[in-house]
Amino acid sequence: MFGERGYVGGTTDAIARAAGISQAYVVRTFGSKESLFFAAGQRAADHVEAVFREVIEGFTGDESADERERRLGEAYGALVADRGVLLTLMHLFTLGHDTVFGPLARESFLRIYEIVRDDAHMSPEAASLFFARGMLINTLMGLRMPEVESDQPYAHELMFFGLGDKCHEIMESGTYALADAEAGRV
Amino acid sequence: MFGERGYVGGTTDAIARAAGISQAYVVRTFGSKESLFFAAGQRAADHVEAVFREVIEGFTGDESADERERRLGEAYGALVADRGVLLTLMHLFTLGHDTVFGPLARESFLRIYEIVRDDAHMSPEAASLFFARGMLINTLMGLRMPEVESDQPYAHELMFFGLGDKCHEIMESGTYALADAEAGRV
DNA sequence: GTCTATAGTTCGATAGAC
DNA sequence: GTCTATCGAACTATAGAC
């Protein structure tokens, strides 16, 4: 829900309805909406971190730089299937001005960047380009570009260069159904 | 204000205070908050489009592909000085699910992409990479990464590869002061 | 652990004066 | 054109029952 509507727009009522519980219980369980979003942001960043660490642990040490980047990119593409993770992070990354979420947002972003730089041993050029592609993918998800892709040649082109030749497979594996079904306004 | 807080978070009251007018007058002038954000999103996209068109009109026709990309990138870097434009667009791009703002968001994004592809004659690879870098810059703005950049070597690295050797000059030319001063919560 | 009911606040929009 | 005042809806959080 936060991935779809952001922090302010993701009401505890909509979250409760999606979870099939009462609004009061959502607040009571997490203490406040702020704590809930903080936990959701942390969880999303932890998930991306874990996925990257798993890929890196699979390295033998004699992969080329291109091969390391390819494998991390493939893992990121797989994350697209769960829209919520990447879109929640994207919303967190717009909260740099916030005294509570700003520090979490910057720490989360830099923590993952450090893993790519230090553990995956990617060069500054390669790492920044890797993150740039990731942010483009996030943006295309937020735009729901995959849904209109068939009508727009350039939309397809962007998805293709973001996700490679598996873009159709990846896109069709994910869905926004939960957020759509439970939210008032589609 | 919308660039800082997004559509839902940017209240008409905060907008009114920043503009030095009454909340009722904001709503009355634009009809509704929805119309106001729609106009703000259109204006931001129009501005980016106009900046790119101006750069392209300056082409003589015998620039290299790298040179065309360099000049467009420089123009985008200059846009960073006015945080509001790029951050408002970034928030618009998270509203793909919305029946009103979703079409506007996709049209705005693709309109600018078409200009880069067709008028600036950039290849699919170069254009998608150019947009990827742009989305990374937007994200770093949203994170307010420039403000902590001096403490974090990797934050500096990201800014540098996003904006080039002019990153300090560009960053210092912009400010979030307006949104900070007028909004309740900093 | 989970609910209903509701208090208290904030927000967008309207009414009406000047 | 612009304001003050205010209404009704939506939202977070709390109280209290089971």
Taking every pair of C-alpha atoms in chain B, what is the biggest distance, in angstroms?
54
pLDDT, one tens digit per residue, over B124-167 is 999 999 999 999 999 999 999 988 777 888 999 998 888 777 77
Query: Could you check: is the Cβ of residue B18 within 7 Å of any atom of nucleic acid strand C?
Result: no
At residue A47 the predicted structure's pLDDT band, cuts being 50, 70 and 90, is very high
DSSP B116: I
For residue A151 the two structure tokens come to: 């009508």
Residue A19 lies in a domain: no
What is the spatial distance between Cα B181 and Cα B186, in angstroms, rounded to a whole number? 8
Query: Could you check: is the Cβ of residue B21 within 7 Å of any atom of nucleic acid strand D?
Result: yes
Q: What angle do CA A73, A74, A75 make, to 5 degrees?
A: 90
Residue A13 lies in a domain: no
Residue A110 lies in a domain: yes
Give me the pLDDT at residue A167, please: 75
pLDDT, one tens digit per residue, over A92-116 is 999 999 999 999 999 999 999 999 9
The one-letter amino acid code at B156 reads H
Number of Cβ within 10 Å of residue B120's Cβ equals 21
Number of Cβ within 10 Å of residue B153's Cβ equals 12
Give me the pLDDT at residue A185, please: 40
3-state DSSP assignment of residue A44: helix
Percent of chain A with pLDDT over 70: 93
Among the partner residues B125, B142, B161, nearest to A128 by beta-carbon distance: B161
For residue A103 the two structure tokens come to: 């520090």
Mean pLDDT, to the nearest integer, of A126-139?
96
pLDDT, one tens digit per residue, over B72-123 is 999 999 899 888 999 999 999 999 999 999 999 999 999 999 999 999 999 9
Q: What angle do CA B42, B141, B104 make, to 5 degrees?
A: 20
How far is the alpha carbon of A104 from chain B, nearest alpha carbon, in Å? 10
DSSP-derived secondary structure for A72-138:
HHHHHHHHTTSHHHHHHHHHHTT-TT-TTHHHHHHHHHHHHHHIIIIIS---HHHHHHHHHHHHHHH
Residue B145 lies in a domain: yes
Residue that is written with structure tokens 């040179």 in the block: B67
Least confident of A26-40, B11-25, B52-66, B169-183: B169-183
Total domains in chain B come to: 1
Give yes or no for a contact between B86 and B176, defined as CB atoms under 8 angstroms apart: no
Residue A44 lies in a domain: yes
Mean pLDDT, to the nearest integer, of A112-123?
97
Give yes or no for a contact between A94 and B95, defined as CB atoms under 8 angstroms apart: no
Residue B155 lies in a domain: yes
Residues of A within 8 A of B97 (CB-CB) are 4, 144, 176, 179-180, 186
| Helix residue spans in chain B (DSSP H) | 2-9, 12-19, 23-30, 33-57, 65-79, 83-92, 101-114, 124-142, 145-148, 153-163, 167-173, 177-182
Name the strand (E) or helix (H) holding B171: helix B167-173
CA distance readout (Å), B179 to A60, A173, A182, A183, B83: 49, 40, 33, 30, 10
At residue A166 the predicted structure's pLDDT band, cuts being 50, 70 and 90, is confident
**Distance measured from the CA of protein residue B25 to the C1' of nucleotide C14, in angstroms:** 11
At residue A180 the predicted structure's pLDDT band, cuts being 50, 70 and 90, is low
Average pLDDT, chain B: 91
Residues of A within 8 A of B114 (CB-CB) are 154
Hey, are the CB atoms on B125 and A162 less than 8 Å from each other?
no
Residue B24 lies in a domain: no
Residue B30 lies in a domain: no
Give me the pLDDT at residue B169, please: 74
Determine the straight-line distance between the first and last CA of chain A, rounded to whole angstroms: 12
Among the partner residues A102, A128, A152, nearest to B144 by beta-carbon distance: A102
